[in-house]
Amino acid sequence: MKALNRSFLIILVVSVVLLIVINRLNAAQGFSGDNTLTVYNWGDYIDPDVIQQFEEETGITVIYETFDSNEAMMTKIEQGGTTYDIAVPSEYTIEKMKEEDLLFELDHDKIPNLQYIDDRFLNLPFDENNRYSTPYFWGTVGIIFNPELLPEGMEITGWHDLWDPRLENQILLVDGAREIIGMGLNTLGYSLNDTNPEHLYETLDQLEKLTPNIRAIVGDENKMLMVNNEAAVAVGWSGDAADIMWENEAMDYVVPEVGSNLWFDNFVIPKTAKNIEGAHEFINFMLDPEISAQNTEYVSYSTPNKEALKYMPEEMVNDERFYPDAALTDKLEVYENLGKENLAFYNELFLQFKMYRK
Ligand code: SPD
């Protein structure tokens, strides 16, 4: 009897261990099942406690992977071999993904918390009636600067200031083709959706002239570098600026009125999804006002969830640098889907610019 019990125990332990190993292996390879959900998001773009709360509430295990650009995310999904249930593209990439039939339509009945999103973030041109996407965060591109490290008497108000020779080796640039080419185009007075090759080559020339002032082209490290006083200025996204200011109140952020980018990041369910039910549950959970407020406080980007604003600190919600009024946002442009060839040209120019620096 005892021997039988022991064999039973051994079989039980081996089975449990095997189950755990298979589960881990599946997770490592990105296989989703009913009880797992694979989320593909930008780096530094969610509060880990929120993921844990979702897991506890639903019993679904979240497998979490990150990317650092729309282009990297889309290439990975196009290539296949992944099972992402949720991805978080920006507007122009949603248009591309729709064109390439990479997205499932959303079932709005399963996302009742969509009612909490401010109308001005719904039904935008890149996704009419939010058939494929729901808003996550929004923001701008601008200049983050540390007044204490600027040369005496220098003020930063617009893109042209970045070319000031006194800023030698003092500027960090976000590693994004649309952001940097767009900044160059705006500096020259062109639209950041311009596709005229002459204007784009002129932009490349202009950007190459910025080279002596560039300290590094970086991703999420820009926050750490700014906080550690490694550079006086960074060109980047508004939420990173807010995060940096959280660490050092002396820092400031300006969106050049001559022109810049207004962007929207959104949840979608790619056709790679294996857990469509869970994906809807996740989106709905993330749009819950209290969860959204908690997540927004952690991430520092601007929430489109009007109900969530009620749970957030007033100084955050009333900061016009991160919740700009229509007078500023009307002057900004949203990236358009420029088509495969034009986007490839943008990427090529950005690469040339990065090579020129070396
Ligand atoms: N660290 C997360 C950054 C996410 C910013 N998304 C911006 C998209 C602009 N097109």
pLDDT in tens, 297-311: 999 999 999 999 999
| Ligand 1 pocket, mutate which of 42, 47, 70 (most atoms under 8 A from CB) | 42
Q: Is 45 in the pocket of ligand 1 (CB under 6 A)?
A: yes
Interatomic CA distance for residues 243 and 237, integer angstroms: 10
Annotated binding site for spermidine: 92
Does position 294 have pLDDT exceeding 60, yes or no?
Answer: yes
Does position 180 have pLDDT exceeding 90, yes or no?
Answer: yes
pLDDT of residue 16: 52
pLDDT of residue 31: 47
219 DSSP assignment? S
Annotated binding site: 92
Query: Which atom belonging to ligand 1 lies closest to the Cα atom of 90?
Result: 10
| Ligand 1 pocket, mutate which of 41, 91, 136, 237 (most atoms under 8 A from CB) | 237
Does position 206 have pLDDT exceeding 60, yes or no?
Answer: yes
> What is the rounded average pLDDT for all residues in the chain?
92
Query: Which atom belonging to ligand 1 lies closest to the Cα atom of 44?
Result: 1
Q: Is 220 in the pocket of ligand 1 (CB under 6 A)?
A: yes
Distance of CA 185 to the CA centre of its chain: 22
Centre of ligand 1 from the C-alpha of residue 9, in Å: 51
Ligand 1 atom 3 nearest Cα: 42
52, 61, 108, 160, 238 from 255: Cα distances, Å: 35, 39, 35, 12, 9
Q: What is the set of domains in the chain, with CATH numbers?
A: 31-132+264-317 (3.40.190.10), 139-261+332-356 (3.40.190.10)
pLDDT-based confidence at 200, cuts 50/70/90? very high
What residues contact residue 325 under an 8 Å CB cut-off, 6+ apart? none
Interatomic CA distance for residues 287 and 17, integer angstroms: 36
pLDDT-based confidence at 12, cuts 50/70/90? low
pLDDT in tens, 100-116: 999 999 999 999 999 99
Does position 13 have pLDDT exceeding 70, yes or no?
Answer: no
What residues contact residue 294 under an 8 Å CB cut-off, 6+ apart? 47, 49, 50, 311
Ligand 1 atom 9 nearest Cα: 263
pLDDT of residue 56: 98
Does position 14 have pLDDT exceeding 90, yes or no?
Answer: no
Q: Is 294 in the pocket of ligand 1 (CB under 6 A)?
A: no
Question: Which range, of 22-26, 91-95, 265-269, averages the lowest pLDDT?
Answer: 22-26
pLDDT-based confidence at 356, cuts 50/70/90? confident
Query: Which atom belonging to ligand 1 lies closest to the Cα atom of 91?
Result: 10
Query: Which atom belonging to ligand 1 lies closest to the Cα atom of 335?
Result: 10
Q: Is 48 in the pocket of ligand 1 (CB under 6 A)?
A: no
Q: Is 237 in the pocket of ligand 1 (CB under 6 A)?
A: yes
pLDDT in tens, 32-57: 556 999 999 999 999 999 999 999 99
Q: Is 285 in the pocket of ligand 1 (CB under 6 A)?
A: no
Centre of ligand 1 from the C-alpha of residue 42, in Å: 7
Ligand 1 atom 4 nearest Cα: 42
pTM of the model: 0.89
pLDDT of residue 28: 42
Interatomic CA distance for residues 39 and 272, integer angstroms: 11
pLDDT of residue 30: 44
Interatomic CA distance for residues 132 and 76, integer angstroms: 19
What residues contact residue 273 under an 8 Å CB cut-off, 6+ apart? 32, 83, 84, 85, 86, 104, 279
Does position 156 have pLDDT exceeding 60, yes or no?
Answer: yes
Distance of CA 169 to the CA centre of its chain: 27
Question: b/e per residue, 205-237, with b = 16+ CB within 10 A?
Answer: ebbeebeebbbbbbbbebbebbbeebbbbbbbb
Copy the structure tokens of residue 64: 């979490």
pLDDT-based confidence at 2, cuts 50/70/90? very low
Q: 262 has which bridge partners?
A: 140
pLDDT-based confidence at 326, cuts 50/70/90? confident
pLDDT (mean) for 134-151: 97
Q: Is 221 in the pocket of ligand 1 (CB under 6 A)?
A: no
pLDDT of residue 122: 98
167 DSSP assignment? G
Q: Is 138 in the pocket of ligand 1 (CB under 6 A)?
A: no
Does position 218 have pLDDT exceeding 50, yes or no?
Answer: yes
pLDDT of residue 25: 44
pLDDT of residue 357: 73
pLDDT in tens, 229-270: 999 999 999 999 999 999 999 999 999 989 999 999 999 999
pLDDT of residue 21: 47
DSSP 275-337: -HHHHHHHHHHHTSHHHHHHHHHHH-SB--BTTGGGGS-HHHHT-TTTS--HHHHTTSBPPP-
